[in-house]
Structure 1
Amino acid sequence: MAPLPRAVGVLAALAAMAAPPASAQQATEKLDSVVVTGSFSRSVQNSIDTKKNADAIVEVVTAEDIGKLPDVSIAESLARLPGVAAQRVDGRAQVLSIRGMAPKFGVTLLNGREMVSTGDDRSFEYDQFPSELVTSAAIYKTPDASLGTQGLAGTVNMTTLHPLDHGSRRVNLNARLDRNSYGELVPGSKAQGMRLSASYVDQFANRTIGVALGVAHLDSPNQKKYFNPWDFGKAGDISVDGAGNAYTFNGLETGVSSTQTRRDGVLAVLEFKPGNGLHSQLDLFSSRFSQRMNGRELVAYWANWSNGTTPTFTPLPDATQGGQVGNLTPFVTERKNDRDDRVRALGWNTELKLADWTGQLDLSSSHAKRAEHIGEAYVTGSTPITLDVRMPGDFHHFGTLSTAFDYGKASNFILSTPWWGGGAYASQAQVADDVKSLRLSARRSLDWGPVSGFEGGLIHSRRSKTLDYVGTNYDLKSGTDYDGTTCMIWPVCGGPIPASVVQSPAQLSFVGLPGLVSFDVFDAINSGAYVASPNDPKSPTWNWGIKEKVTTSFAKFNLDFNAGVPVRGNVGVQAVSVRQTADGLYQDSTGALNPITDGTSYTDVLPSLNLIAELRPNTLLRFGAARTVARPNMADMRAGLTASVSQTDRTWSGDGGNPRLKPWRADAFDLSLEHYYGKGSYIAVAAFEKRILTGIVTQSVAYDFSGIPNPSGITPTSNIGTLTTPTNTSGGRIGGVELSGALAGARVSPLLEGFGLLASYSRTHSNLPGTDAHGAVTDTPLEGLSGTVYGLTAYYERAGFEFRVAQRYRSAFTAARHNAFRFVMDSIRPERITDLQLGYNFQDGALKGLGLLLQVNNLTDTPYVVTQTVDGITALKEFHKFGRQLLLGASYKF
């Protein structure tokens, strides 16, 4: 069944089943009083209650118990909410798209405070935050003026626990074994790991002091198999059909990678509420996150620009399906990526009630650091081979290779320089992100006709983030081959792989080969076989430092009145003043680097309105209107640029960032109709539209190069030239509809007690100005836009037994990815991810409080597929599979 009929059919069924006939009204009222005992059912009910009572349009997920979200990651839990989709990175749900908009259009808060990020930009990476330390997370789809920092797509607010909200001491222990179904693809990696967590909550001094402590340890294996064809298009110099007009690929890369992910998170909360109007809470979060990736990759290319020998290519009848490559130089890339991240967040919130007023002081500081070391080394065979290549005929399978050559035998290879850059490459990335914030606010209840309350205040934050990439090329030792002849970068040359670094072959049976030569990159670089080269292919103009000072003043009036039906909500306004400064490097025509600094300041006035009309008991009509903003990508704001004066026409040209870039701005309108049927059941339909006032595109614009050094000796005709840079534009819209619902089986029949369904469906479209391949402005889909997103969860909980199966789907979308040099856009095919969970909780006896769990994520091993389109023909670009994640564990609470 297609996604739309399936999702709409399920929602229609929810509405029909949840609405009992009049003759069953008395029975229904009795059912409403049933106590919900299942942990997931209780989570669903709490989430629905929060959604119903909110003054904004929100979607909520709450923990089943302390330290127990419904999924193994926050991103996966949030991705099941209406209109939300997760983007996978190496198989893990890492960042979120809200209402079809890329992660950069959202904002993530922790306890109401903006979170730092160790990524290359603002987007929060959810896999770095332990789900065990979160009690709830809400996605605000319409703004609330008192919330502070907010996004154009939406705002995610993760909440940690408040110890005084619990009636007694609580201790929760969780342990799970974690295994990947692919086992060990790269020698030295691990097929299994573990997840451990513990939390302690207690109250002292007659419940005036509360303490909460939580720790979470993750040691998880991630495996990847991939097959990536290269450069689809007309054959050109391959001359498949004698004229070069047939379509084919120029080459491919296929391989495996194994990543061991470790994370240690700590949360500490101290709450003080003596009962005299004072309430103070101090919370500390700290996380250490590390990844150790080892990859092994076979490379084959048959275009005439290839290195070493000149290969021949005998195509199959359809050249896009592959063929036989002769006179091919065997080529393998060894990869390694070591990454260490640290995130710390400290917050202190104090409220004091004086007469009718409650004042609040909130101080916070958060800091993130990333140190990443990436390495590559290259080996080639000394004798040409023949390789049969079979490209996949669809987007659902790997291609296959066959050859008599043993790719797994180290003695068949030599260290070599197959690329222009040398025989090995290593880069280091350093990222530091720091946010400090102060919030002063006050609120009180009012009785001014329709106005029931007021809140106002000031938020000031300072953010500083830097990114610095440094790369080193490595030539073979002393710049000579092992026989003493000069080693040129072109053609191939080299010597044996040092025996001390050789490992067992990596697995490559999924493409038809028994194995692939394997060794540790950094061990090889440190073996003495290489010497560092001064050549660094990565432009330092892409490194940047950004400083932002943001002052937000806000006022909000709560509303409560009768307009024929009860109406509540709020109206508010924010005035957001921003001062931004960017540091970078200017690289002139000689390659010399010069520091450059630029920036701007501006103020946005952001009104917001939320109204909720209770049309009848438990039937709500919500309306929201607001102006929203999304700060630009920090890479787009960089000050770095390259420029030169042309010898032919003596004009300036260059490319770089734009420190004077203004944010995305939009006027947003929301309408939602919701009906709540009692405990754990509701149905809702919503529509939204965002009219883009200010957008951002990359295009060539007139630029004044006055003051830019010009060592070329060529006098320009004018200082006004052309710069390719991100720039503000206007126009466009984003809109869509969302349907969601939940049904507790007992609403239909007592025989279905314990059963339940959750379903959501959203359809989103956009029409925004962009640029085509030639730099011309044209309409383009929004980055991150999946036109269709749906989720479906079925569960059963009764007598201690638990069963849950969940599926989430998103249609094709584009996503920005930072490759070795800069951001590129990937076209990603639809994804349907299915997860399964089984469990049993002992209800009484000596084992009361003990729970057993079996969880399988990515049950169908859904691939991650990227495509490339040339002349209207869509072909495969990347095909990745990550295996199933199996978790077996136990929890104990007392």
Structure 2
Amino acid sequence: MNKFKLSILTVAIAAGVSSYSYAQEQETKLSATEAREKAKADAAIETIEIKGFRRSLYDSLNEKRYSDVISESVSADDLGSLPDVSIADALARLPGVTAVRTGGQAGALNIRGLSGDFVFATLNGREQVSPSGSRTVEFDQFPSELISQASVYKSPKASLIEGGVAGSIEMKTASPLSKTKDHSVNLNLRGSFNDRADQVPDATEYGNRISGSYSGKFLDETLGFAVGYSRLFQPSVATQFVGLAYNGGSMDTNADGTSEVISEGFELQHLGGKETRDGYMTAIEWRPNSAVTVKGDVFYSEFKSEEFARGFRVKSLNNGNITNGVVADGAMIGGTVSRIPGRDFLVQTTNDDNTDTDKVLSTGLNIEWMATDQLTLTGDISTSQSDSNFINGVNWSLAFADANAVNPVVANDASVTYLLNGLNVPSVAFNRDYTDLDSVMMAKIGIYPYVNSDEVNALRLDGKYDLQDSEFFSSVEAGVRISEREARNDRSVFEFGNDFGNYAPGQGPLKLTEDMVREVNFSGEFSGLPSYLAIDLNKALDAWLGAGNYTPQKDLRSDWTFLNSNTVNEDVTAAYIQGNLDTEMFGVPVTGNLGLRVVRTDQSSTGYLNVGQDTPETETVCDEGGRCTDNFVLSTRGHTFTKSLPSVNLNFILTDDDQIRFAAAKVMGRPPIADLAAGGGSWIDGGKFNVWSRGPDLEPFMAKQFDLSYEHYFENDDGAFSFAIFNKDIDSFVQTTVINNPDFDALGIPMPEFDPNNPGQALVPGIYETKTNNAKGGYIRGFEAAVTKTFSFLPGIWSGLGTNISYSYTKSEIEQTNNLSGSSRTISLPGLSPKVISATLYFDYDKFSTRVSARYRDAFIGEQVAVETQLAYYSDETVMDYQASYKVTENLDVLFQVNNLTDEPTKTYFGNEAQTGTLQYFGRQYYFGVNYSM
């Protein structure tokens, strides 16, 4: 494919540079499309004096107004004058878009109630992969200072790359030849401070943001060059309580004769550390004549985080002796739990150490050739790569009866008394002192790397032919795109010691010494909770294991390190044809497009399947410690499918300031990468051979959607009002399905002939647990209303006052079944918040610009990150930010910013608010700095 790409580009460049004929423009009556383009250009000229936040809103509305699809945009001025930490923060203010906060800041984005797996993202028109190990793009990887424009496409068209059932987000970097200035420079420097860092010992308080960019035009504006750099260094701070799901079984905990469900346990922790993001962007644009434009661009971002999590973990409550149980709505929410010798209830102190390095690289070369005055050909080659290396390091200590004994044993009198307090901090007390070095010993270390890589290479060829005499179409477009994607996942492990003090020979606990530890107290909302020991892990591990003797490896004793290491491949060929409308209906000018996109996908995955014994199909597999097995089969499975995606976008131009849009389309989204992974495990039960696996042969998500919107633009560029209704019908979702009496031969899964534990007993098929598209789909529908208004009619200084408000309401009949609250419950679609409100009050006058923004998100279902990812109810939240700038000179601005102005926490729960989930407080982040531009 690489040779094919190179040949195509060589031909295109040679043809474009060597031959071109350009016809004289003829005087004709302006079509609707031409009139709109002229109005757009004239509007830009007429409003050139608009400055500050109002200018950024105007630019965004201008993009929305003249788009041929239903969309929302964020302009470069918005991102540059008072830049957000990432593009995610900026996009989360748009109607129908919500952000999922990770570590206190926006990361993944949801659109109209659908989560990040359903959101497709492009950079400069090219598909982007993600270091998350999924299809969910981490938008905090993209510094806002390096993105010139971002748009959310809510209705598709045939020329857009398929993949966004929820919608598509397009980001753009600089195009130097399109700049109005011959040379421009922007430098930004600001310091930051987190006001909660002083409550987390060893947390970083101060950070900084530095960015610089240059764009220039040379050789009579035939050559353009742009380069940018952005660095973010910020504290990572949180104090949290995490209640775990109610999967601990049930028993009568308060002696009332009725059984109550019990939580797995809970955590009390300080989180601290630092995050560093370095972003780079460069673009070279060459226009040797008016017919040919060649542009190459590179974007690279590296995000590193080093974080610790210290405090307590209380686990396996159901394995303890429960007294004085406190019950609410059929669940135990408090009581005293004591250790039973030989059972697995324990109180652990945690000193976890997590590191994560995520890298994203996007490159592309684009050639546009106007072959004639009507025909334009475009060729594009691109690569998007991501790499992630997340290392989850856990370190647990336990209370022992006597830490000075020759053979220490876990204290059998350990107990906890606790009482949850809904969405407020609970009360927790232990009967032992977990700062006592004569009792507390290091019990276990576990290091669990997650290494992911993802890469997509694509070649795209497009043509556009302008129609001069058509009564219906202004132009026709057609094209083809070929892409190859490979996603790899690799796991390894290092473990020493034991969670519960059940030690293997030579893996006993470590006696801690005073030079290894420091006593830590909780404060703020968590004041009064028990103190714990913060451990210097380097000193402790070197004393316990010897310097550096804790390298993770693939280990057959933990066969999941093989079964969860796999490769997923997707080869896609897509072709489209699209007619761009320029006509009239009932005397009303109509623009838009009508098209069809056809997509053929060949997906496959390779991974290990453990069939439990040696068979003719198995092979010998050895781990890095020299242990070998003959129980594994290297399985490759896949699926090929073709989908047709018709679409129509109609824009009825009622007046110069009013328009109605209608859109209808069939859309598709690919299954989550993790669900496509091959491999799995097996077990034998009662002479039956059973297998668990994933779904390499999954079909894509398919949906039919309809949109209708009205837009009114106020006079004098004072803003706009819009109202939209939408309906999306999704065919089905992925779910785990159990198939009885499966045909393993047809599935390509070898089944052993006999039960190794019962010689001579033949095996028969039992069950096959896998991922399928069987989950019932349904509708997602709702409406969005937005108004942007500058009160220019007000006298004097008040003419710079304005507001930007949006309201979204979404509902769905799609439901899932979940039992994390202890009983089977029907829950709504994860990621769907029924009500979402975004509001900004801004003021621009002379040299001063300021705004306060609030984003409200209704309660929704989402993933709570704990020992394992668990679905939980997220409570509603309102996140407020404040930003201000003052222009000291024509080129110099001073800036002030506060993110999370009210220190809004993240709060989750299971089933009802009495079953506390996460309570996580992040603090306010303050910024102060300067911006220089010329």
Give the TM bin, normalised by the shorter chain: 0.7 to 0.9
Deviation at 1:238, TM superposition (A): 6.9
2 CA distance for matches of 1:685 and 1:757?
A: 17
2 CA distance for matches of 1:793 and 1:34?
A: 22
Deviation at 1:773, TM superposition (A): 4.9
1 CA distance for matches of 2:239 and 2:810?
A: 32
Kept in 2, the 8 Å contact 1:345–1:367? The answer is: yes
Give CA deviations for 1:192-212 in whole Å, capped at 9, x if unaligned: 111100001111111111111
Identity within the alignment, %: 29
Deviation at 1:401, TM superposition (A): 3.2
Does 1:886 pair with 2:914?
no
Kept in 1, the 8 Å contact 2:247–2:263? The answer is: yes
Kept in 2, the 8 Å contact 1:409–1:505? The answer is: no
- 1:457 aligns with 479
2 CA distance for matches of 1:819 and 1:584?
A: 27
* SS in structure 2 at match of 1:50: helix
Shift in CA distance, 499/147, structure 1 to aligned 2, threshold 3 Å:
same
Give CA deviations for 1:772-811 in whole Å, capped at 9, x if unaligned: 5599999752221111111111111112112211111111
2 CA distance for matches of 1:267 and 1:595?
A: 41
1:350 corresponds to which of 342, 367, 371: 367
Does 1:518 pair with 2:534?
yes
1:174 corresponds to which of 177, 180, 188: 188
* SS in structure 2 at match of 1:40: helix
- 1:414 aligns with 441
- 2:457 aligns with 436
Consecutive unaligned residues of structure 1, counting only runs of 5 or more, are 1-29, 417-422
- 1:201 aligns with 215
* SS in structure 1 at match of 2:288: coil
* SS in structure 2 at match of 1:64: helix
2 CA distance for matches of 1:190 and 1:866?
A: 26
> Aligned AA for 1:813?
F
1 CA distance for matches of 2:848 and 2:767?
A: 70
1:71 corresponds to which of 73, 84, 87: 84
Kept in 1, the 8 Å contact 2:583–2:589? The answer is: yes
* SS in structure 2 at match of 1:636: helix
Does 1:322 pair with 2:334?
yes
Does 1:738 pair with 2:776?
no
1 CA distance for matches of 2:109 and 2:824?
A: 28
Where do 1:6-405 residues align within 5 Å?
Answer: 36-64=49-77, 67-68=80-81, 70-166=83-179, 167-230=181-244, 232=246, 236=250, 239-241=253-255, 243=257, 245=259, 251-300=265-314, 303=317, 305-306=319-320, 313-315=323-325, 322-324=334-336, 331-355=348-372, 356-383=374-401, 389-395=417-423, 397-402=424-429
> Aligned AA for 2:608?
L
* SS in structure 2 at match of 1:52: helix
Deviation at 1:758, TM superposition (A): 0.7
Does 1:797 pair with 2:844?
yes
Does 1:785 pair with 2:807?
no
Deviation at 1:444, TM superposition (A): 2.1
* SS in structure 2 at match of 1:147: coil
* SS in structure 1 at match of 2:673: coil
> Aligned AA for 1:572?
G
2 CA distance for matches of 1:829 and 1:776?
A: 20
User: Which segment drifts farther, 492-501 or 849-858?
Assistant: 492-501
User: Which segment drifts farther, 883-892 or 248-257?
Assistant: 248-257
1 CA distance for matches of 2:682 and 2:500?
A: 36
Deviation at 1:273, TM superposition (A): 1.4
- 1:807 aligns with 854
Does 1:857 pair with 2:899?
yes
Deviation at 1:105, TM superposition (A): 0.6
2 CA distance for matches of 1:776 and 1:436?
A: 46
* SS in structure 2 at match of 1:792: strand
Deviation at 1:38, TM superposition (A): 2.9
- 2:771 aligns with 725
> Aligned AA for 2:125?
G
Deviation at 1:727, TM superposition (A): 3.0
> Aligned AA for 1:270?
I
Does 1:830 pair with 2:876?
yes
Kept in 2, the 8 Å contact 1:197–1:217? The answer is: yes
- 1:712 aligns with 755
1 CA distance for matches of 2:222 and 2:352?
A: 55
Give CA deviations for 1:798-840 in whole Å, capped at 9, x if unaligned: 121122111111112222467666x542322212111111221
1 CA distance for matches of 2:813 and 2:750?
A: 37
* SS in structure 1 at match of 2:159: helix
1 CA distance for matches of 2:46 and 2:484?
A: 50
Deviation at 1:143, TM superposition (A): 0.4
Deviation at 1:233, TM superposition (A): 8.4
Give CA deviations for 1:87-140 in whole Å, capped at 9, x if unaligned: 011212110000010110110100000111100201110111111100110000
Consecutive unaligned residues of structure 2, counting only runs of 5 or more, are 1-42, 340-344, 402-410, 614-628
- 1:670 aligns with 707
2 CA distance for matches of 1:343 and 1:802?
A: 34
User: Which segment drifts farther, 110-119 or 676-685?
Assistant: 676-685
2 CA distance for matches of 1:251 and 1:729?
A: 30
Shift in CA distance, 43/376, structure 1 to aligned 2, threshold 3 Å:
same
User: Which segment drifts farther, 499-508 or 739-748?
Assistant: 499-508
User: Which segment drifts farther, 360-369 or 583-592?
Assistant: 583-592
- 1:7 aligns with none
Shift in CA distance, 232/783, structure 1 to aligned 2, threshold 3 Å:
closer
Where do 1:572-587 residues align within 5 Å?
Answer: 572-587=595-610
2 CA distance for matches of 1:656 and 1:248?
A: 29
1 CA distance for matches of 2:82 and 2:569?
A: 35
Shift in CA distance, 716/629, structure 1 to aligned 2, threshold 3 Å:
farther
Kept in 2, the 8 Å contact 1:769–1:778? The answer is: no
Deviation at 1:156, TM superposition (A): 0.2
Kept in 2, the 8 Å contact 1:48–1:680? The answer is: no
Give CA deviations for 1:55-86 in whole Å, capped at 9, x if unaligned: 10000001227845652221111010000000
- 2:511 aligns with 496
1:544 corresponds to which of 566, 569, 591: 566
Q: Aligned Cα RMSD in Å?
A: 3.3
Give CA deviations for 1:389-432 in whole Å, capped at 9, x if unaligned: 4534331x21233468554455541122xxxxxx2211111111
Kept in 1, the 8 Å contact 2:118–2:163? The answer is: no
2 CA distance for matches of 1:415 and 1:244?
A: 39
1 CA distance for matches of 2:778 and 2:347?
A: 50
2 CA distance for matches of 1:717 and 1:247?
A: 37
Shift in CA distance, 85/118, structure 1 to aligned 2, threshold 3 Å:
same
Deviation at 1:893, TM superposition (A): 1.0
Deviation at 1:544, TM superposition (A): 2.5
2 CA distance for matches of 1:596 and 1:233?
A: 33
If the length of structure 2 is used for normalisation, what is the TM-score? 0.84
Deviation at 1:643, TM superposition (A): 2.3
- 2:591 aligns with 568
2 CA distance for matches of 1:848 and 1:878?
A: 48
1 CA distance for matches of 2:913 and 2:689?
A: 37
Deviation at 1:639, TM superposition (A): 1.0
